[in-house]
Structure 1
Amino acid sequence: MAQKTSPLKTLFDELEETNGDDECKAWLNRAFDSKAELAVFVAGRREGGGTGKYVGFFKGSFNISFRFSFGDGRPDVIIRFPKPGHTATAYRDEKTVNEVQVMEYLRQNTDIPIPRVHSWGLLAESPQHLGPFIIMDYVNGTLLSTILKQPDQDGMVLSPNIDDTTLDKIYYQVAYYIVQLSQLSFASIGAISKDDASSAWHVTGRPLTYNMNELVTVAGYPDDQFPTAPFDRASDYLRSVANEHLIHLWTQRNLADDAEIAQERFIAHPETLQITAVLDFEFTNAMPAEFTYDPPWWLLLSGPEVWLERCAMDEFVTLYEPRMEQFLRALERVETEMALEVKQPGGRSLSTRMRDSWTTGRFWFDYAARKSFDVDTIYWAALHKDGAGIELLDDKARAEMEPFTQIKMEQLKAYEEECTARFSSGDVEDM
């Protein structure tokens, strides 16, 4: 692996991000003003009926959940809405349908602890047209991140003092769930749904991904350029992902601060892309099997791109590899215990495939393929060939680089002028 700290970090389009925040703020005000109506609505959709009492709310990156209790001995419930402005408005119904289907499928085909869904519906069915919703059991518990993170650090950083016995117990449970997930297969790549007549599960929709949502909400990506149907082959899907990165490269106006950075981004993109409850299944799809064969990226809590912005690759590897080995040992224990049930293609174990992914560098390729805003960081730190730059490009690509650089500088100038006009009053509030 190349031992180089990335010089690049893709920033969001501040105009798009502010527009989304403004839309979300206005919607949140409407949602909180509707708490009494929501209590009645939830009671009508919940087994047991009753009169709901508002308890509190939980706000995530893409959703907000309102908790209600009923005093009848049954679990409290939450009603969860995707937040417009943070979830692309055009995708909220699609995202909710996909998530409900995945939750039902996993409840039927695994013993992963999935909260019970009481009811769900689309925008048109919701109170005050607040948006598509899922009403499910509220599950008491502590977030794993709270247990694992270093308490005196901003952001998600795995505590270096975490007890190995605690971590082994957590890794074992997660490994058990991952092995189950690795056994599930579909003939296509995309969103799944159940046929009402046969009760069979199939891939029926395009793969709506986290990356697609981010591109639309904070990069100004033209959403009519996304796929509209499932994929029959992994190669077709990866080709689509490569095209997604390239369109992002050409369309986000503030993607490069100067001509040199624009050229570096141009070089990187084409080369890169040849326990009580498990929650948040949004943007979950049937995906290429090779993604399952990569070791988990979250073993240090924050993703590799966060670490590579603060340290060199060799420092990240020094931190990551011991935790990866600890996780793989837990996975091997699960595989041994489930030997009669676990059947991997080609007879190779999942733990062996994960080690191969890390050794060969496929881990980095697959991770970069799913991360439009971090593909440059990962490319220059992990995939770039030392000493090679423009010379990597063929004649056609070299000819395209100069007009590309000129276009990016023109886009940047127009973007900066709009930002100056928009934010000069200094009255923008933080979320």
Structure 2
Amino acid sequence: MKWDHLAERQSQEHISTWLEYLLQQMPFLAMQLANQHRPGHTATVASELTAGSCDIFSFVTFEDGTSVVVRFAILGRTIFRVEKTCNEVSVIRYLARLTIVPVSLVLGAGAWGCGPYIVTQYIPATPLSYHIESSFAVNALTRELRRGYHCMARIILELSKQTFPRIGALSQDIEGKWTIFKRPLTHNINDLVRRGNVPTCVFPDKTFATASEYFIELATEHLNHLWYQRNSAIMDATDCKRKYIARCLFRRIARIIDMEPGPFRLYCDNLHPSKVLVSARGNADFSVAAVTDWGYSYVAPNEFTYAAPWWLLLEPPEKWGANLTQFVPRYIPYLNIFLRILSACEDNDIQKGTLEASQRLSDRMANSFHNGLFWFCLAARNASMFDQIYWTFLDTRYFGPLQSLDDRLCRLSVEELGELDRFVALKMKHANEKCLDEHMSFDDYVRL
């Protein structure tokens, strides 16, 4: 489903307004914030701003030559900026203290006049994606590719060892214990509000005791997306009906599919080779210096961890092309390479006694691509690709061959079927009106 073009235009306007204000404060703001979190030293220079996917940052250098990174969550690109920043700080501190995953240490965090910020140590290194992409450029299974996959396998395996009793955001209480008492803030929630114009109030503020409960919530988010997005959501009445049926049936799948009980594992929506910084150690050899961008990290259903990685070809799902079946033969060879490397890492950890055989991921990931779990989890987390994934890989698997769209009406509940005509009429009205519901003012966005 395409995003609401009017919502995206509004988001861009917010970004421009906020960025103009930020630029007026630079470079003095970055230096002032850096000074606050490195007492006894004086910042001497701040670089020009560099934009990332969700943040914009400046490199600040001190009189002793030490550099730090001051990061600002971009208003208009990130909706729940305070919540995301708090979650990221918590996860980074947890990983630094209790895991072997290298991270850029947090020196401090807080708020300036127009939003939150984080100050972290500066680590000079190269994104791992650069090394993997070079292998794709020459169309070869190079040593760099295998080494890159090995780095990612080690990170994923370490995250999978971090288990918790509920699904939600990781926080540290006043006694210093790591707990789950806040909702899981996901990249998809951010997109639904920012690009789909879904009101923030429809997302429940709670944790989840079971994977089934959480997947039903994700399925409900897809229905809310179709309900609230006014523009670019449907092409005609038939398309609307098709999208409504798909979301109702996906929620039915979420209710009947077998889910693994807790404890649940730490998961990051944004984990990708571009977020992994590596230092060169020789020809085609390197080591992980730090993993960055932990804002959309949370304790998730085990099924997310068990699903094969979506990033093996580096491209996000939105770039896979209109025909997903053509993606599969491109993906499978690289999946097989990654799984062999992951399996070797597991063998090594089992020998060292840091992993139980029952904790292996490689077999589960291999099965996920054949039993549909890979596509189910991807559809649950990705609103823009939902319809394409559902009709290509999920509908027939769970409900049999499709002769016509009306074949699926008998699968809907009495309530869902009774709502269908009214829903289609409402969405056709939305499409004709070509306007945007105003759920929040600019000041509301600033406060979030």
User: If the TM-score is normalised by the length of the shorter chain, which range does it land in?
Assistant: 0.7 to 0.9
Write 1 or 2 for the structure with the bigger share of strand. 2
Structure 1's unaligned 5+ residue stretches are: 1-9, 152-157, 420-431
Q: CA deviation at 1:312?
A: 4.3
Q: Choose which of 341, 346, 349 in structure 2 pairs with 1:330.
A: 341
Q: CA deviation at 1:351?
A: 0.6
Amino acid corresponding to residue 30 of structure 1 in structure 2: Y
* Equivalent-residue separation in structure 2 for 1:299 and 1:327 (angstroms): 8
Does 2:216 align with 1:239?
A: yes
Amino acid corresponding to residue 141 of structure 1 in structure 2: A
Distance 1:312 1:17, change over 3 A: closer
Contact 1:175 1:331 in 2 (8 A): yes
Amino acid corresponding to residue 419 of structure 2 in structure 1: E
Q: Which residue of 2 aligns with 1:408?
A: 427
Does 2:292 align with 1:279?
A: yes
Does 2:126 align with 1:142?
A: yes
Contact 1:54 1:66 in 2 (8 A): yes
* Equivalent-residue separation in structure 2 for 1:96 and 1:362 (angstroms): 30
* Equivalent-residue separation in structure 2 for 1:373 and 1:194 (angstroms): 33
Q: Tell me the alpha carbon deviations over residues 302-357 of structure 1, each in whole angstroms, 9 at most, x when there is no partner.
A: 13342142x341x211100000010001101101111143445x826211111111
Amino acid corresponding to residue 199 of structure 2 in structure 1: P
Q: Which residue of 1 aligns with 2:54?
A: 62
Contact 2:131 2:148 in 1 (8 A): no
Amino acid corresponding to residue 41 of structure 2 in structure 1: G
What is the aligned length? 391
Q: Taking structure 1 as the reference length, what is the TM-score of the superposition?
A: 0.86
* Equivalent-residue separation in structure 2 for 1:38 and 1:355 (angstroms): 46
Matches within 5 A, 1:261-280: 261-273=239-251, 274=254, 275-280=288-293
Q: Which residue of 2 aligns with 1:172?
A: 150
Q: Which residue of 2 aligns with 1:13?
A: 4
Q: Taking structure 2 as the reference length, what is the TM-score of the superposition?
A: 0.83
SS in 2 for 1:242: helix
Q: Choose which of 64, 72, 86 in structure 2 pairs with 1:97.
A: 86
SS in 2 for 1:286: strand
Contact 1:328 1:351 in 2 (8 A): yes
Q: Which residue of 2 aligns with 1:428?
A: none
Identity in percent: 33
Moved more, 327-336 or 33-42: 33-42
SS in 1 for 2:157: helix
Moved more, 17-26 or 65-74: 65-74
Distance 1:261 1:193, change over 3 A: same
Q: Which aligned runs of 4 or more in structure 1 are off by greater than 4 angstroms? A: none
Q: Choose which of 163, 167, 173 in structure 2 pairs with 1:185.
A: 163
Q: Which residue of 2 aligns with 1:207?
A: 184
Moved more, 14-23 or 392-401: 392-401
Distance 1:32 1:418, change over 3 A: closer
Distance 1:305 1:270, change over 3 A: farther
* Equivalent-residue separation in structure 2 for 1:167 and 1:120 (angstroms): 36
CA root-mean-square deviation: 2.0
Matches within 5 A, 1:297-336: 297-309=310-322, 311-313=323-325, 315-336=326-347
Q: Which residue of 1 aligns with 2:446?
A: none
Q: Which residue of 2 aligns with 1:4?
A: none
SS in 2 for 1:77: strand
Amino acid corresponding to residue 211 of structure 1 in structure 2: N
Structure 2's unaligned 5+ residue stretches are: 255-287, 438-448
